[in-house]
């Protein structure tokens, strides 16, 4: 016992773990034990997980996986359901059911209050189905052009007004992808692009004042046509199509988009020539006025750095309505291609159609809001992004981002005027795992995160974990949380909080009072013995230090603690030791110890034991 303590001591003394906090790192780390997490085991390993909100009232989600669909009700577990996808079929010839097991659900949408739209693939023959909310197939739908063959294909899709918009490969072979539409309106079946394209996400751009003008935006990366050796392999684009588009007449662009225009997305620090060209994921925060809806793009560069750039739908629309067309110098035909959506696109003038066909790309790029650069640049290898708009105390709204890492962790990030503040790292899974998908339920402030075999529900307003004092709550700067005068809890109108600055002066004199430090009792230690004192380090943004007899003492960070090491106890080391943390100009005492050296040394202490061993070794030689 004593010896192991001594070994730890020596190791720490000579190889201190350097974990000086940086503000690019999460302020605190919260495990599944700290935050309110509910788990649901899927009891099998899934290559792909699709998530769809169920009923917010009863905290439920629909989950698509390998040969299965689940309805998970986190409030009443016994009401959860499981169904096979596709349902067992009997072949007429052999009357044996075909094995359903090798289908992976790839597409999952809500049609209306009573039906779901589900597609899945077995790598060969996809299937789509309209289902009841009890997950019974009521109508087969042709999967052609809207359901992927390959389960690894991202295949973004949208379900709007009885139409499915999807960007998927038409065949099992790669690179037969295009934006297609099937459903109630004219089916759209455009030609395949020449360059390789990977579709990332789709979003509805509306509702606009005149709903005829509603559009669908698709975000994609495209193989770079730039042969310059330093150019990156992928470029990021946004494409618009009109919802009302019915394609051209028989002679031109029949069943192809007559309103399809594309623009490059800019994300980079231009004076430093740092560009983030590859879009990885997109989150959209819809606003009441569609022009203010925000598109959060998560990008990466060739060196594994990630960046987030924000675009408004209004800015994207502006580029499509005003930019010159790439490679075109003549007079732009009237009506300007793609500017107005029309009731009957088959009647558009030939000149307009051929312009859309020949010059679909805009010369101007879409620039991020604010200073025209990224909201944040990070060395973290983020994979996915979700965004939420949170009403903080005093009715002010804040945007919060949830960024997934490939080790199963999630960063909760506050967006504010001056940039970002990384509130916390959430560790919802008990082991390192790959996050397959995330779903944010705005109305209940729940985040659903899935690994290949588990779905966990994280309560984003689980605030107790920040601590039991007002200062803990305020320094957390979490807009989901505020101080209720007794504890840190989900934001209320009258709650105490300072999301902008985390300035603890809002706590008043009581709230800011010093907590009871641990260990008031005097500890008697043997003379010449070594010893170490613990101080909890919960915030990576704070500076920790020890004080003794009016002097600062070195803090050795280890295992989430700031340790004070005493080599050899003497009466000079007697007295009070306090550990203080300083953050945002506020200093508080976290721990206090009283040590006293025993008047006489007793027996051999480890350092002298070591000395004896060393002497012995020297003598033998
Ligand atoms: C998964 O397994 C656990 C324990 O093995 C069991 O309690 C649970 O009911 C199973 N869940 C499903 C959906 O089969
Ligand atoms: C969930 O909530 C919906 C809507 O309130 C309700 O109709 C349904 O019965 C609830 N229970 C289950 C099992 O989903
Ligand atoms: C489901 O569980 C609830 C308690 O969580 C219980 O009241 C209810 O009777 C159960 N229903 C069934 C059908 O087992
Ligand atoms: C599916 O796509 C992946 C990645 O693009 C590829 O490696 C794999 O061979 C494809 N599978 C099939 C069955 O085509
Ligand atoms: C189908 O489209 C027609 C017009 O093309 C429209 O009147 C009708 O409401 C649509 N039906 C549905 C269910 O959206
Ligand atoms: C939406 O915002 C734009 C630009 O700020 C403004 O011109 C437009 O009138 C707004 N629309 C509505 C319906 O408020
Ligand atoms: C590290 O800290 C945890 C929790 O504070 C504790 O349970 C564990 O024993 C510590 N490990 C070491 C090596 O001190
Ligand atoms: C905190 O707020 C108080 C009162 O508004 C102000 O005097 C103080 O300078 C602020 N502290 C910091 C670190 O900004």
CB atoms within 10 A of CB 239: 24
Of 566, 565, 556, 578, nearest in space to 528 by CA = 566
At 265 the three-state DSSP class reads: strand
CATH topology of domain 2-21+517-620: Immunoglobulin-like (2.60.40)
Measured in Å, residue 209 CA sits from the centre of ligand 6 at 9
Q: Which ligand is nearest to the CA of 161?
A: 5
97 lines ligand 8 (CB under 6 A): no
| Residue 544, pLDDT score | 93
184 lines ligand 5 (CB under 6 A): yes
Of 263, 446, 252, nearest in space to 349 by CA = 252
76 lines ligand 3 (CB under 6 A): yes
Ranges of the chain with pLDDT below 70? 1-23, 88-101, 174, 226-232, 510-520, 600-621
| Residue 609, pLDDT score | 53
Task: Specify the length of the chain in residues.
Answer: 621
| Residue 21, pLDDT score | 39
Measured in Å, residue 128 CA sits from the centre of ligand 5 at 21
Of 418, 501, 502, 505, the residue with max ligand 8 atoms within 8 A of its CB, to mutate for a pocket test, comes to 505
Measured in Å, residue 170 CA sits from the centre of ligand 4 at 14
| Residue 519, pLDDT score | 54
- The CA distance from 449 to 429, in Å, is 9
Query: Nearest C-alpha to atom 10 of ligand 8 is from which residue?
Result: 503
Is 183:194 a contact under the CB 8 Å cutoff?
no
| Residue 345, pLDDT score | 96
At 201 the three-state DSSP class reads: strand
Handedness of CA 48, 161, 170, 338 (dihedral sign): negative
Whether 193-379 and 44-90+98-172 are alike in CATH topology: the answer is: yes
Tokens of 163: 């139409």
121 lines ligand 4 (CB under 6 A): no
- The CA distance from 405 to 428, in Å, is 12
Query: Nearest C-alpha to atom 7 of ligand 3 is from which residue?
Result: 76
Of 152, 169, 172, 175, the residue with max ligand 4 atoms within 8 A of its CB, to mutate for a pocket test, comes to 152
Q: What is the pLDDT of residues 223-271, one digit of tens each?
A: 887 666 556 688 999 999 999 999 999 999 999 999 999 999 999 998 8
The CATH architecture of the domain made up of 44-90+98-172 is 7 Propeller (2.130)
193-379 in CATH: which number?
Answer: 2.130.10.10
User: Any idea what the Cα angle at residue 371 is, between residues 370 and 375, rounded to 5°?
Assistant: 75
174 lines ligand 7 (CB under 6 A): no
Q: What is the pLDDT of residues 76-113, one digit of tens each?
A: 999 999 999 887 655 455 555 555 558 999 999 999 99
Tokens of 462: 């689980």
CB atoms within 10 A of CB 613: 10
At 2 the three-state DSSP class reads: helix
- Domain boundaries, given as residue ranges, for the chain: 2-21+517-620, 44-90+98-172, 193-379, 384-461+470-513
Of 559, 560, 562, 591, the residue with max ligand 7 atoms within 8 A of its CB, to mutate for a pocket test, comes to 559
CB atoms within 10 A of CB 289: 11
Q: What is the pLDDT of residues 357-408, one digit of tens each?
A: 999 999 999 999 987 899 999 999 999 999 999 998 878 999 999 999 999 9
Q: What is the DSSP string of 51-106?
A: EEE--GGGTEEEEE-BSEEEEEESS-GGG-EEEESSPP-B-TTT-PBPP-TT-EEE
Q: Which ligand is nearest to the CA of 75?
A: 3
Cα→Cα distances 124→65, 89, 101, 114, 144, Å: 17, 17, 14, 30, 12
| Residue 16, pLDDT score | 40
Taking the model in full, what pTM does it have? Answer: 0.88
């Amino acid at each position: 016992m004593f010896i192991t303590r001594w070994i730890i001591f020596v190791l720490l003394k000579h190889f201190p773990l350097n974990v000086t906090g940086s503000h690019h790192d999460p302020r605190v780390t919260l495990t599944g034990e700290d935050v309110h997490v509910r788990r649901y085991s899927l009891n099998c390993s899934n290559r792909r997980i699709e998530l769809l909100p169920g009923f917010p009232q009863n905290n439920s989600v629909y989950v698509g996986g390998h040969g299965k669909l689940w309805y998970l009700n986190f409030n009443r577990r016994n009401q959860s359901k499981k169904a096979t996808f596709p349902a067992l079929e009997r072949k007429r010839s052999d009357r044996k059911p075909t094995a359903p097991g090798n289908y992976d659900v790839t597409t999952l949408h809500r049609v209306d209050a009573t039906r779901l739209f589900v597609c899945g693939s077995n790598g060969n023959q996809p299937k789509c189905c309209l289902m009841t909310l009890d997950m019974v197939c009521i109508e087969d739908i042709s999967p052609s052009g809207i359901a992927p063959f390959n389960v690894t294909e991202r295949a973004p899709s949208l379900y709007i007004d009885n139409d499915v918009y999807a960007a998927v490969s038409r065949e099992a072979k790669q690179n037969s992808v295009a934006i297609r539409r099937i459903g109630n309106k004219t089916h759209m079946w455009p030609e395949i692009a020449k360059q390789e394209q990977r579709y990332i996400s789709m979003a509805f751009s509306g509702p606009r004042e005149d709903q005829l003008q509603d559009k669908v935006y698709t975000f994609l990366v495209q193989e770079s046509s730039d042969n310059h050796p330093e150019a990156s392999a992928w470029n990021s684009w946004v494409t618009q199509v009109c919802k009302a588009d019915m394609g051209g007449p028989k002679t031109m662009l029949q069943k192809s988009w007559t309103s399809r225009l594309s623009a490059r997305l800019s994300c980079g620090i231009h004076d430093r020539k740092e560009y983030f060209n590859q879009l990885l994921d997109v989150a959209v925060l819809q606003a009441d006025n569609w022009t203010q809806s925000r598109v959060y793009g998560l990008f990466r560069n060739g060196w594994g750095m990630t960046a987030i750039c924000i675009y408004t739908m209004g800015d994207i629309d502006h580029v499509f309505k005003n930019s010159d067309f790439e490679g075109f110098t003549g007079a732009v035909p009237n009506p300007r291609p793609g500017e107005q959506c029309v009731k009957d696109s088959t009647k558009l003038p030939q000149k307009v159609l051929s312009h859309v066909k020949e010059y679909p790309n805009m010369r101007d790029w879409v620039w991020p809001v604010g200073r025209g650069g990224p909201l944040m640049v990070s060395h973290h290898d983020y994979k996915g992004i979700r965004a939420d708009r949170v009403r903080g105390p005093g009715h002010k709204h804040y945007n919060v981002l949830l960024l997934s890492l490939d080790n199963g962790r999630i960063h909760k990030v506050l967006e504010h005027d001056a940039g970002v503040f990384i509130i916390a790292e959430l560790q919802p899974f008990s082991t390192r795992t790959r996050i397959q998908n995330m779903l944010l339920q705005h109305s209940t402030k729940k985040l659903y995160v899935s690994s290949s075999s588990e779905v966990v529900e994280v309560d984003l307003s689980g605030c107790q974990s920040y601590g039991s004092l007002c200062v803990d709550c305020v320094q957390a700067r979490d807009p989901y949380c505020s101080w209720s005068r007794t504890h840190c809890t989900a934001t209320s109108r009258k709650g105490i909080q300072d999301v902008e600055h985390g300035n603890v002066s809002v706590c008043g004199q009581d709230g800011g009072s010093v907590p009871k430090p641990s260990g008031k009792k005097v500890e008697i230690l043997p003379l010449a013995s070594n010893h170490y004192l613990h101080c909890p380090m919960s915030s990576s943004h704070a500076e920790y230090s020890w004080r003794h007899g009016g002097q600062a003492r070195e803090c050795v960070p280890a295992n989430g603690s700031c340790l004070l090491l005493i080599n050899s106890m003497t009466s000079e080391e007697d007295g009070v030791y306090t550990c203080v943390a300083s953050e945002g100009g506020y200093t508080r005492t976290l721990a206090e110890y009283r040590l006293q050296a025993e008047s006489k040394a007793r027996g051999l202490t480890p350092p002298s034991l070591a000395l004896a061993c060393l002497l012995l070794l020297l003598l033998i030689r």
